[in-house]
Amino acid sequence: MAIRPLMVAGSPVLKKKAAPVTSVTPEIRTLAADMIETLKAANGLGLAAPQVGESVRLIVLDRGYLAWDALPDEERKHTTCRYEPDVLVNPEIIAQEGIYEMEEGCLSVPGYRAPVQRAARVTYRWTTFDGEVRERSAEGLEAVAVQHEIDHLDGVLFIDRLSRVKRNIAVGKVKKFIASLDEEENETARRLYGKP
């Protein structure tokens, strides 16, 4: 397993519609293992393959964090959050309803966060590495995360859902963040964003 460099806003691969995974090849397994390691190093909640430069429909979600986040406040204080990455092959939203707004961030838009409006509840379907088809209904953070990651597979960043003014601010923040890594001590961030 290896950490792969993260693509940031402006990278052409993030604008492309990703291709479906037609068979789980050794390359796809390696990609998933690397995405799991990259997501952990980046301390993120979800990661889509285009974010590491591979235009295929594969995402990784940290189910451990989602379960921890969904706990009642009091219980959360006494519960350790575990990293439980789940690999979703060819995920898709099959039903959605309502409107919900939550502040989002993205590993491909480092240094910027903003509220985004999405569906409040979704039902999503995906395939596991064993070829099993799974389906789940979700709301709250899980629903937001799934929509955010599937957007990546369609070449859409969360800032594409904002006004042009906000999008320009975001692009400026990303440039500033990447430039700051030249002087910064944070070795993990430098590795993640491909700074030697």
* Nearer Cβ to Zn ion (90/108): 108
Residue found by looking up tokens 């190093």 in the block = 41
* Nearer Cβ to Zn ion (61/106): 106
Task: List, in order, residues 6 or more apart from 55 with CB less than 8 Å away.
Answer: 13, 16, 18, 19, 49
Provide, rounded to whole angstroms, the least separation between the CB of residue 27 and Zn ion. Answer: 23
The window from 10-18, 22-30, 36-44, 103-111 that contacts Zn ion (CB under 5 A) reads 103-111
Alpha-carbon gap, residue 179 to 109, rounded angstroms:
13
* Nearer Cβ to Zn ion (24/40): 40
- What residue number has its CB nearest to Zn ion? 106
Which one of 149, 183, 184, 187 is the catalytic residue? 149
- The answer to whether the beta carbons of residues 54 and 11 sit under 8 Å apart is no
What is the pattern of x (binds Zn ion, CB under 5 A) and - over residues 159-178? --------------------
Provide, rounded to whole angstroms, the least separation between the CB of residue 47 and Zn ion. Answer: 8
The window from 72-80, 90-98, 105-113, 171-179 that contacts Zn ion (CB under 5 A) reads 105-113
User: Is 149 labeled as catalytic in the residue annotation?
Assistant: yes
* Nearer Cβ to Zn ion (39/106): 106
106 binds Zn ion (CB under 5 A): yes
47 binds Zn ion (CB under 5 A): no
Chain mean position to CA 51: 8
Provide, rounded to whole angstroms, the least separation between the CB of residue 48 and Zn ion. Answer: 7
Both structure tokens of 59: 């995402």
Provide, rounded to whole angstroms, the least separation between the CB of residue 108 and Zn ion. Answer: 5
Angle at 59 between CA 53 and CA 61, to 5 degrees: 130
Binding-site size for Zn ion (CB under 5 A) equals 1
- Whole-number Cα distances in Å, 47 to 40, 53, 85, 112, 196: 10, 11, 10, 17, 22
Residue (of 14, 35, 53, 6) closest to 158 by Cα position? 14
* Nearer Cβ to Zn ion (24/86): 86
CA dihedral 66, 70, 75, 79 (to 10 degrees): 0
Chain residues binding Zn ion by CB under 5 A are 106
Enumerate the active-site residues.
149
